[in-house]
Amino acid sequence: MNLSDIVAISACRTPMGNFGGTLRNMDAYDIGAVAVKAAVERAGITSDTVQDVILGSCRQAGNGVNPARTASVHGGIPKSVPAITLNMACPSGMRAIAMASQQIRLGDHEVVLVGGFDSMSTIPYLVKNARWSGFKMGNKVLEDGWSDSVDRVIGQGMGVTAENLVDKYNITRQEMDEFAAKSHEKAHTAWEKGLFNDEVVPITVPPASKKAEPIEFTKDETIRYPVNLEKMAKLPAAFKKDGSVTAGNSCGMSDGACALIFTTREKAKALGATPLFSLVAYNQVAVDNETMGEGPGVSIPAALENAGLTLSDMDLIEANEAFAAQMIANQKMLNWDVDKVNVNGGAIALGHPTGISGARIVVTLYHALKNRDKEIGVAGICGGGGVTMAMVIKRES
């Protein structure tokens, strides 16, 4: 069986919630459950057709045993269907797609649901060593669970690695701010034109109190428009003294989920399901931890080589916007056509719940290809610790 025989029959995502926003009281796995349920419904299949579930989730503290399993069951998948929680940092969701394709080609399963979920709003604080040292007298230090975003190999947070790219590629603050503003503008325009309507599934948010009513959450709340570049230019450096990477030109912290269902072309026909897109090629590699944002500049050519294609063959390109610095560095590495890249905005506007983004950019790429009546595209993503992945897809319908 060729990779091109593997097709997606469903591809959707939830709206993205701001850090501390509308989704802050929902557990990550319950956000994931919304995407799981919607993916099955959109595929037009019964939930017991799914034979395995692979979901990326990188912020797992406090979410119980195997949170993908919880998302799966809460999303209506039978308890007889296994699930695995995958953590490969930012590419997790894309690696889930690759794993599904491998399972299907090996004959282990015919129908696999993949995707990811994360809630940055519910990342807990930690009290390390409290179990053994006790509290007795004196004070204890709460450690922010966000410290897990530090790369333990190099002792640097992801923002510092973005500053490393600024230095290496001579990127200016103005370039980054203008890139970020454009991302928000494109995402705003996409919503105005209804280009996200088929991509996004709503979330009914449970009431926060007995007197409150459920909230129907239907649209990304992460987008800032219009962007005031003068105000953005006054934002302080977020990661390095005298640096230029700020909260404004970095991806937003957010909450969300996405899900896709993959099967064979033959099985899709038997199920009466419509193939949305097929897999052409993918590749996963790694780069230096200190410049992890260079990832798409390496993984995209690697995936294209596997496909026997070039960047100029691509109708559209989706690259995860961890930082504007990273995107500008990737542009300098690949010399891509900027008019083909993230045509509906990227993670700077939509946010980057880590476990979903590798799959989310594939979902977004497919819908962008469909909306523009284009055929083929590539999605690439960098990852904390230097892991990176890219995938080429071809639209079928």
Residue 43 falls inside a structural domain: yes
382, two tokens: 């960098």
Q: Residue 365 maps to which CATH number?
A: 3.40.47.10
For residue 209, the model assigns a pLDDT of 85
Q: Is the distance from CB of 8 to CB of 276 less than 8 angstroms?
A: yes
For helices 67-74 and 28-43, angle between their N-to-C axes, nearest 10 degrees: 50
**How is 336-351 classified by DSSP, letter by letter?**
--GGGB-TT--HHHH-
For residue 66, the model assigns a pLDDT of 98
CA-nearest of 257, 268, 274 to 359 is 257
Question: What pLDDT, in 10s, does the model give residues 140-181?
Answer: 888 888 877 789 999 999 999 999 999 999 999 999 999 999
Q: Of 90, 184, 251, 258, which one is the catalytic site residue?
A: 90
382 is catalytic: yes
Question: What pLDDT, in 10s, does the model give residues 62-94?
Answer: 899 999 999 999 999 999 999 999 999 999 999
- pLDDT (average), residues 244-269: 98
359, two tokens: 């799959």
Q: Is 3 helix (H, G, I), strand (E, B) or coil?
A: helix
Tokens 């501390």 sit on residue: 20
**Strand locations in 226-358, DSSP E?**
254-264, 277-286, 316-319
Q: Of 12, 188, 251, 352, which one is the catalytic site residue?
A: 352
- Sequence-distant (≥ 6) Cβ neighbours of residue 22 within 8 angstroms: 205, 215, 217, 221
251 is catalytic: no
Q: Of 12, 251, 258, 382, which one is the catalytic site residue?
A: 382
Share of the chain above pLDDT 70, in %: 100
For residue 132, the model assigns a pLDDT of 83
- The count of domains in the chain is 1
What DSSP designation does 135 have? -
Residue type, 271: L
Strands 376-382 and 387-395: antiparallel
Q: Is 379 helix (H, G, I), strand (E, B) or coil?
A: strand
Q: How confident is the model at residue 338 (pLDDT cuts 50, 70, 90)?
A: very high
Share of the chain above pLDDT 90, in %: 90
pLDDT at 210 exceeding the cut of 90: no
Residue 373 falls inside a structural domain: yes
Domain that holds residue 390: 3-123+252-395
352 is catalytic: yes
Residue 219 falls inside a structural domain: no
**How is 281-317 classified by DSSP, letter by letter?**
EEEEEE--GGGGGGHHHHHHHHHHHHHT--GGG-SEE
Residue 300 falls inside a structural domain: yes
- pLDDT (average), residues 358-373: 99
| Integer Cα distance of 354 and 375 in angstroms | 27
Residue 228 falls inside a structural domain: no
349, two tokens: 């506007």
Residue 94 falls inside a structural domain: yes
Q: How confident is the model at residue 204 (pLDDT cuts 50, 70, 90)?
A: very high
Question: What pLDDT, in 10s, does the model give residues 111-143?
Answer: 999 999 999 999 999 888 888 877 777 788 888
For residue 129, the model assigns a pLDDT of 80
Residue 325 falls inside a structural domain: yes
Question: What pLDDT, in 10s, does the model give residues 283-297?
Answer: 999 999 999 999 999
For residue 309, the model assigns a pLDDT of 99
Q: How confident is the model at residue 306 (pLDDT cuts 50, 70, 90)?
A: very high
Pick from 11-25, 170-184, 203-217: least confident: 203-217
What count of other Cβ atoms lies within 10 Å of the Cβ of residue 166? 24
133, two tokens: 């040292």
Residue 59 falls inside a structural domain: yes
For residue 141, the model assigns a pLDDT of 84
For residue 216, the model assigns a pLDDT of 98
- pLDDT (average), residues 344-364: 98
What count of other Cβ atoms lies within 10 Å of the Cβ of residue 363? 28
For residue 127, the model assigns a pLDDT of 86
329, two tokens: 């560095």
For residue 137, the model assigns a pLDDT of 76
For helices 158-169 and 324-334, angle between their N-to-C axes, nearest 10 degrees: 40
362, two tokens: 């594939």
**Over the chain, what is the mean pLDDT?**
97
